[in-house]
Amino acid sequence: MKRTILTLIALTIFTIVGFSQNLNKNTLCKKWYLEKYEVYWIDYEPEKHEKNDYIHLKNDLTYISVDEGEITTGRWNYFDKQKYIVFYNNKGESLKFFVSTLNSNSMAGRYDIEEIEDVKVHYKLKK
């Protein structure tokens, strides 16, 4: 009896883990608005010119980004095992975003930019 219960628990855990990996990929395809910056556990509001910044990740693996009013477009790819997104802009440049938190309403992580390596960027969905 114990063996059957343990087997059922193990199968349930594997099912949940497998579903959450698919959920992550599907969860990414949204319009993420800049919420705040976090530096050493202290939160900072975006500046005035950043209030409407966002990243729109589309299902066709293209994106539109607004950063301080500047629009960038290109392609993106999510690497599930390493948990990062690579943005490829139309100029041939790329940028990694290491995802530390992802759920259906928020996403947070760090950009692979040396000058801001200690800054965690938080995004959320608008209601």
For 25-59, write each residue's pLDDT tens digit: 678 999 999 999 999 999 999 999 998 999 999 99
pLDDT, one tens digit per residue, over 102-126 is 998 999 999 999 999 999 999 999 8
User: In sequence order, which residues have a C-beta less than 8 Å from that of residue 62 and are 6 or more positions away?
Assistant: 73, 74, 75, 76
3-state secondary structure of 53: coil
Rounded CA separation 17/27 (Å): 15
- CATH topology classification for 2-124: Lipocalin (2.40.128)
Instruction: List C-alpha distances in Å: 33 to 51, 112, 113.
Output: 9, 19, 20
Q: Is the pTM of this model over 0.85?
A: no
Residue 101: burial class (beta carbons within 10 Å; 0-12, 13-18, 19+): exposed
